[in-house]
Amino acid sequence: MATYNTQQLQEIDGLHHIHPFTDHKALMEKGTRVITRANGVYLWDSDGNKILDGMAGLWCVNVGYGRQELVDAATKQMRELPYYNNFFQTTHPPAIELSKALVDISPPQFNHVFFTNSGSEANDTVVRMVRHYWNLEGKPEKTVIISRENAYHGSTVAASSLGGMKGMHAQGGILHDIEHIEQPHWYKNGGAMDPDEFGLKTAQALETRIREIGEDRVAAFIGEPVQGAGGVIIPPATYWPEIQQICKKYGILLIADEVICGFGRLGEWFGSDYFDIEADFMPIAKGLSSGYLPIGGLMVGDRVADTVINKGSDFNHGFTYSGHPVACAVAMENIRILKDEKIIERAKNDLSPYLQEKWLALGDHPLVGEARGIGMVGALELVKDKDTKTSYQSDQNVGMICRDFCFNNGLIMRAVGDAMIICPPFVISHSEIDELVDKAKLCLDLTWAKIKS
């Protein structure tokens, strides 16, 4: 590849590259940051600045950067069989081995996987498979899928429709027969209720909506165990048991979107393990390969698999790269690393308690209304008034101000509105956690000083 200096890279990028979820005019004014290499939990930009990646890329580089084993697994597979498909009665060892490895680590009702290239495709697949299932069950009128406001399930047409982000629906529309209920965001919406009471209330909204739509029309409910891109919304303990009880009562399928929570983020293999969710489907991606190559999948529970496999003929669905051998080989090696190095156990028993103790202490900062966290993920709600939980005006862009201070001080935190998010790799050390929290504190101070001035 040609070697350009930073300015040339930025110019060419501005001329030719449309970025995801980006205001290009603002981007051009500020200039893009060009990331050129990474190791462990650190990134380097094209000017040589070292940055602690508090977001594990985009919630995905769970085993950290620079793992030679993953490079070797890809190289070996590329030499042996760089591509073949799984259509038309063919298969290959990497897809076979990965399907078994996934079944081994998943909750017991999961014995099948359908491979995709991303979380969005996994969620497109689930919409089609849910409706296909009810058709085969002789209930074709069951087409409605209920999701939550502010959920993120991806960017394809079906995935963005499942998502509850109005700004996405406004651009390109939404599939019919997708409904959204309130998210379990206690800090923002709980009012005078205690968290458990609020958890029950938001879960019971599912039953209310099922009754409004009609039980005979509702096919499934989808939720992330912990909402990620919506701002790390951790549901109260009462939420998932009640949701499950309602799904069981009405016989509707339950989809636990594990794209962020899966592969250890909450200190268990899956968010479903953490919350005891017995789902019918688990869309997976991100941590499946620690982001080293694009791969996703849909774990399909026995209830659905029995029908789709035994009662149906073809499921007319698939991608050229479903179960791509190189991506599967890398995902296999990633799972091996997670297992052999006991990375998830260490995240749960050592890193998470250390991180959360320090993170939650940031709740004392005058700018922070709530500090919350679970496993290896956390959020800070930046507010104008801690007592009344009053937010800043959205055009004050407080989250963005804080995010920019972070970047300029060598830390990546994601801003979701005025919530600051962290989701570091699981190979972070205690001293790197200290650095992360110290830098976050410094940037809160800088943001606070800027707002006050």
Chain residues that interact with ligand PXG, rule: CB under 6 A: 58, 118-120, 123, 152-154, 224, 228-229, 257, 259-260, 285, 296, 414
Closest CA to 323 of 81, 124, 132, 127: 81
Between residues 74 and 419, which has the closer beta carbon with respect to ligand PXG? 419
Q: For residues 184 and 396, what is the distance between their CA atoms, to the nearest angstrom?
A: 26
How many CB atoms within 10 Å of residue 437?
Answer: 21
Closest CA to 384 of 392, 393, 376: 392
What are the phi and psi torsion angles at 428 (to 5°)?
-65, 140
Least separation in angstroms between residue 121's CB and ligand PXG is 7
Between residues 199 and 283, which has the closer beta carbon with respect to ligand PXG? 283
Least separation in angstroms between residue 60's CB and ligand PXG is 8
Between residues 260 and 298, which has the closer beta carbon with respect to ligand PXG? 260
Least separation in angstroms between residue 311's CB and ligand PXG is 29
Strands 281-284 and 218-223: unpaired
Closest CA to 62 of 322, 272, 339, 354: 339
How many CB atoms within 10 Å of residue 278?
Answer: 15
Least separation in angstroms between residue 386's CB and ligand PXG is 25
Does residue 381 sit in helix, strand or coil? strand
Least separation in angstroms between residue 214's CB and ligand PXG is 28
What is the CB-side half-sphere exposure of residue 176 using CA atoms within 13 A?
A: 3
Q: For residues 295 and 287, what is the distance between their CA atoms, to the nearest angstrom?
A: 9
How many CB atoms within 10 Å of residue 262?
Answer: 31
Between residues 240 and 448, which has the closer beta carbon with respect to ligand PXG? 240
Between residues 94 and 228, which has the closer beta carbon with respect to ligand PXG? 228
Between residues 156 and 307, which has the closer beta carbon with respect to ligand PXG? 156
- Residue 74 · residue 326 · CB < 8 Å: yes
Between residues 86 and 118, which has the closer beta carbon with respect to ligand PXG? 118
Q: What are the tokens at 16?
A: 């030719």
Does residue 95 sit in helix, strand or coil? helix
Between residues 226 and 448, which has the closer beta carbon with respect to ligand PXG? 226
Contacts of 306 (CB under 8 A, 6+ apart): none
Residue nearest to ligand PXG (CB): 119
What are the Cα distances from residue 20, in Å, to 23, 36, 58, 117?
A: 9, 19, 12, 17
Least separation in angstroms between residue 160's CB and ligand PXG is 10
Distance of CA 191 to the CA centre of its chain: 27
Between residues 229 and 362, which has the closer beta carbon with respect to ligand PXG? 229
Identify the sign of the CA torsion 117, 123, 124, 128: positive
DSSP bridge partners of 179: 146
Between residues 285 and 327, which has the closer beta carbon with respect to ligand PXG? 285
Helices (H) and strands (E) in the chain, counts: 18, 15
Least separation in angstroms between residue 291's CB and ligand PXG is 9
Least separation in angstroms between residue 107's CB and ligand PXG is 18
Least separation in angstroms between residue 417's CB and ligand PXG is 12
Least separation in angstroms between residue 127's CB and ligand PXG is 12
